Structure 1
Amino acid sequence: MKLILSLTLIWALSSTAGALQCLSCTNDQCANPPSLTCSSETMCATATFQTNSSGVTVSQIVKACAPSSVCAATGSQKFSFNVGVLQTVASLQCCNTDNCNTETLAIPSAQPNSLKCFTCNATTSQCNSQLQCQGVEDRCVKFNVTNGATNSSVFGCASANLCTLNAKQSFLPSLQSVGNITSGPSCCGTSLCNAVTTIASDAGCMSLLLGVLIFTLRFF
C-alpha cells in the first residue's frame, strides 16, 4: 500500500511540475492580471493588436497561454494583414518561464513600404486595384471565401510570417467577418504578383488563415 501511495504521489508531482503559469487578461484587466495554469505544449504570450476597418481603429491587448503553433520561438514577432478597407497589425512575444508575459508591446509601424499588391474593390468586386503595402507586409496574398450564400475573392498584403504560421487555430481577430476560406490562400513576394490570372505560390502559405485568422490566445 505504501508503495502504491508513493508511486501515486510521484506521478501527481511529475504531472504538474511542468505546468507553466502565465498572466491572463485583456485590455484594462492587464493593469492587475491574474495568473493561469497553462496546458501542456504551451508558452506564455503577450500581444497587442490594432485593427483599422473603414477608418475606425480598435486596439486590443492580450496576455495568455499560447499554443506552440503560434509561439514557434521565443522573442518578439510582428504580423500584419491588409486588404485595403481592413488592416490588422500585431506584435506578439512568447516566453517560457512562469508569469513572464508582463510586457505590453507597442503597435507595429504601418509606414508605406516598397511593395504593391492587388486588392478587390468592394463596389465593383473587381480585384485589380493596387494597394500600397505597409510596415512588415512583404507578401501579396489572395484567397476565396464564402460568407453565407456569397462567394468572393480577397486580395491584399501580408507579412511573410503569416505565410508560414500554422494558423489552424488562426491568428488575427478582425477577419472573422470575412468568411470561410474555400481555396488558397497563396503568397508571393514581388509587387503585383497576386494578379487574378497568375500567382507564384509559397508552399507555406497553405496554412495561412485556415481558421480565418481568429487569434488563438483568446481561447486559452
Structure 2
Amino acid sequence: MKLLLSLTLIWALSSTGAALVCQTCTTSACTATVPMTCSSETMCITASIQETSGGTPVQQIFKACASSSLCPAISSEAFSVNLGVSSGLASAACCNTDNCNSANVPYPGDPDVNTLLCYSCDPLTSQCTSLLQCKGAEDRCIKASVTNGSTTTPAFGCATNNMCEAAASSGQLPFFESVGNVTGAACCTDSLCNTLTPTTTTSAASDTCRIRLTMIHLLIGLLVFTLY
C-alpha cells in the first residue's frame, strides 16, 4: 500500500513538473508579463504584430502558450493575411522551454508585392470580385466566412500557408482575433483561385431541361396531329 501511494505521489509531482510555463502579456503593448502554466500546449510563442484596419495601423506584442497548429516546431515564422479592408503581419518565434518567450522579436517590415493575385470582398456589398495584389510571403489565396456578433460576411484575400493552416484548425486568424470567428477557411495556390462557387449553374441547367422537354412535347403533339 505504501509503495502504491509513493508511486502515485511521484507520478503527480512529475506530471506537474512536466507542464510548460510560458510568459503572457497583461497589456497589448506587453509592458508587463506574467507566467502561465500551459494545459496541453508544448510550445511558447512571442510575436510582434502590425495590424491595419480602415487605414489605421496598430502594433501589438503577443506572448502565450501555443498549439501545435500555430507552432509545429521550434522556429521563426512570418504570419500574414490581407483581406483588403484589413491586414495583419506578424513576426513570431516558437520555443519549448519554460519562459523561453520572454524576449521580444523585431516588428516586421513592409513587404514588397509578389506575383500572386487574389479576390477580396467589399464589406458593404459582400461582393468578392475586387482584385488584391499579395505581398511578401503570402503564397495562398484564402476564402472564408467571418462572424462578428450576429453578422456573418465573406472574407477573401491573401495569406501565408501557416496562417491558412492555423485558421482551418482553430477557427481563428491567429494574432488577429478582432477579425471575428472564422469558418470554412480554405486556401489555394493559383492566382484568382478563391472565386465564389457559382450558385446559378444548377438552376440554369434545370431551366434548359424544362425548355427541351417542352419542345419535345410540342413536336410529339405536332407529329400525332399530322398522322391523324
The interval holding the TM-score normalised by the smaller chain is: 0.7 to 0.9
Q: What TM-score, normalized by structure 1, do the two folds share?
A: 0.75
Unaligned runs of 5+ residues in structure 2 are 199-228
Local SS of the residue matching 1:24:
strand
Local SS of the residue matching 2:176:
helix
More divergent stretch after superposition (157-166 vs 140-149): 140-149
* 1:156 to partner: Cα distance: 0.7
Q: Which has the larger radius of gyration?
A: 2
C-alpha distance in structure 1 between counterparts of 2:181 and 2:20, whole Å? 34
Who is 1:62 aligned against? 62
Q: How does 1:197-208 map to 2 (within 5 A)?
A: 197=197
Who is 1:122 aligned against? 123
Aligned residues: 196
Q: How does 1:63-82 map to 2 (within 5 A)?
A: 63-82=63-82
Root-mean-square deviation (Å): 2.7
C-alpha distance in structure 2 between counterparts of 1:37 and 1:178, whole Å? 26
Q: How does 1:43-192 map to 2 (within 5 A)?
A: 43-109=43-109, 110-147=111-148, 150-165=151-166, 167-168=169-170, 170-174=172-176, 176-178=178-180, 181=183, 184-192=184-192
Deviations 1:3-52 (A, max 9, x none): 35533431232222312222222457745533332223432211122110
* 1:83 to partner: Cα distance: 1.0
- Percent identity between matched residues is 51
* 1:158 to partner: Cα distance: 0.7
Who is 1:14 aligned against? 14
**Residue type matched to 2:174 in 1?**
L
Which one has a larger percent helix, Structure 1 or Structure 2?
Answer: 2
1:117, 1:191 within 8 Å by CA — same for their partners in 2? yes
Structure 1 residues 106 and 167: alpha-carbon distance in aligned structure 2, compared to 1, 3 A threshold: farther
Local SS of the residue matching 2:143:
strand
Larger RCO (CA within 8 A; separation ≥ 6): 1
2:70, 2:162 within 8 Å by CA — same for their partners in 1? no
